[in-house]
Structure 1
Amino acid sequence: MDSRLDALPGVVITEQTRLADAVMAAVGGPHEAGNKYKIYQLPGDKRLATSHQDTHASWLPKKAELNAMQPAMSVVEKSSGCLRVVLALFGGYNLRALKLNFVDSSYRVPYIAHRPCKMGAACCCPLEMTMYDANGDMVGQVVEKTENCFWEQFCLCTYTQKVLVGSSRQSLVHKYNIVNPCLCCGRVNNCCGSTCCKQNFFIDITDPQGRIMSYAHKTYGGDGGCCTHDFSNYVLPFPKDATLLDRMMLVMGMLSTGYTYHTPEGTIFNS
């Protein structure tokens, strides 16, 4: 898996549809299953949009197209079923503690990610997810940005996570930012993004100084229709200078972003 990922121009991350979740969501039930993902190679001949205006002949991955491809790896969530249901009832489902197993095509687990349950930077408890290799050695961390977080999150509705690479907390090097503007205050207007009204939701990959290194985006999973239980896809072109560990950390960072900002929080008032 390592050599393949190192050579890929990018990846498409797709969550696997589960019938039980779709049925329970329709009736307002609190059932929530652990997530499963497949990660596919981003075809090198596809043109990707960089803004909502840049949509001419840009590629939107379709379910049938992805199903015809061989996944480069899969990711399986391990978390407490009881905790998932409780948090789904009380509005904290997107903050749940979990472990992610990254499984390659040979069914090995070369990387594992751990995520504790935290309240977020606005509560002085920034979110984090840490990746370890098969030997249990730390390789990096994705941490919610705390600098100016109140202004960015409450006034600009923009949420940023830092991608850090290193073998210990003391040696972490800040390599990238994953910038998730939820409304209209970012580089593009993401209002109604990743819906049948507007296909893309743009998530910028920047360097620590804020220069854009890659234009990632979340695409609507309904293949253009509105009546669907398919999940959205995350399209992640890798920055040109990204190393293997950088790429693994960016994949984990996109999953962390998806869990935190694009997963329903759940509520006791589900109807």
Structure 2
Amino acid sequence: MEQNSFVLVAPGMQLMDNLEAVPGVVVKETTQVVDAVMAAAGGGYEAENKYHVRAMPQNVNPGREHGEAGTWRPTTAQLDALPQVYFVEEDSDCCLRAILAAFGGLNLRALKLHFYYGNSDKYLVERPCKLGGCCCCPLEMRLYQNGQQKQLIGAVVEDFDNYCARCFDCCCLCINKHKVLVGPTRESLVHKYSLVNSACCCGRVDNCCGGTCCKPSFFIDIVEPDGSLAAVAQMVYGSGDSWADCCRCAFDFNNYILPFPPKANHFERLLLLTGLLSVEYAHHSRTGGENNG
């Protein structure tokens, strides 16, 4: 295991680039006013997303089900005070975003995600524009070590290995799965974990109205290939300024808590973070097409 490292980038701000040194991370999407205005008006514009990734404190219980005693519910101020791990910034084509927003396919857009560690563009995610597994074109994100020569670390791919069963899960049960694959080449990728996004009451927990003021958490299970539960991520509504939390929820500026499976190494944890962002784009971000009804 590499030694934990800290770099001061601003007064009071610390950075760490060893995910094995933290029990998990908190992902906070930045609020962008232009997105809120366009979403409310049904406009065909969407700004590039940006995310702060911060270290989850030691010895907190993020919870695995609704109503669990002693669950950690951080306020916005508490989240902003946590040590920063990465700043993730989207790079995508403005014209493509506008076209897809007009037709309700904004969440399928091609993009790149830059993982900044301080001023260093350390990791790169590439996501091609695909229609999704139900159209025999599963969504995919590929994670690279960035530099003069990109090195593949792994990929996150929508799970449609059993097409008929997965179509039934998606269309009838509202359950979507994304596989986390680790390996330096596409031929050597090994399935390590899956993220299970269940939008209804058919999963391990009832996620109906989850991540809202009605039910503060939307749980996303992290399971091993044999189906055993390794960890539980969640999209959280917030626990601070009720008006700000409500606005962020209404316009899909989401907060996530991602605990890591204890045995996962740094790159597996990095791929789990990529998987969470894959789930975020596919299932918890604006699709557009508001004026098509």
How far off is 1:174 after superposition? 0.3
CA–CA distance in 2 between the matches of 1:140 and 1:26?
Answer: 37
CA–CA distance in 1 between the matches of 2:100 and 2:74?
Answer: 32
The answer (yes or no) to whether the contact 2:207–2:219 under 8 Å persists in 1 is yes
Q: Which residue number corresponds to residue 93 of structure 1?
A: 106
| 1:1-271 correspondence to structure 2 within 5 Å | 3-54=17-68, 56-105=69-118, 107-134=119-146, 135-146=149-160, 147=162, 148-221=165-238, 223=240, 225=242, 228-230=246-248, 231-269=253-291
- Number of matched pairs: 269
CA–CA distance in 2 between the matches of 1:64 and 1:243?
Answer: 30
Give CA deviations for 1:123-158 in whole Å, capped at 9, x if unaligned.
111110001112301110000000221111112110
TM-score, normalised to structure 1, is 0.94
CA–CA distance in 1 between the matches of 2:70 and 2:32?
Answer: 31
Give CA deviations for 1:181-230 in whole Å, capped at 9, x if unaligned.
01010000000000111000000000001100001111014747356432
TM-score, normalised to structure 2, is 0.87
The answer for unaligned runs of 5 or more in structure 2 is 1-14
How far off is 1:239 after superposition? 0.2
Letter in 1 for 2:263: D
CA–CA distance in 2 between the matches of 1:40 and 1:3?
Answer: 11
Say if 1:229 and 1:50 are closer, same or farther in 2 by CA, change over 3 A.
Answer: same
CA–CA distance in 2 between the matches of 1:257 and 1:35?
Answer: 14
CA–CA distance in 1 between the matches of 2:75 and 2:223?
Answer: 27
The answer for unaligned runs of 5 or more in structure 1 is none
Give CA deviations for 1:164-191 in whole Å, capped at 9, x if unaligned.
0001111000000000001010000000
CA RMSD in angstroms comes to: 1.7
The answer (yes or no) to whether the contact 2:35–2:47 under 8 Å persists in 1 is yes
The answer (yes or no) to whether the contact 1:14–1:37 under 8 Å persists in 2 is yes
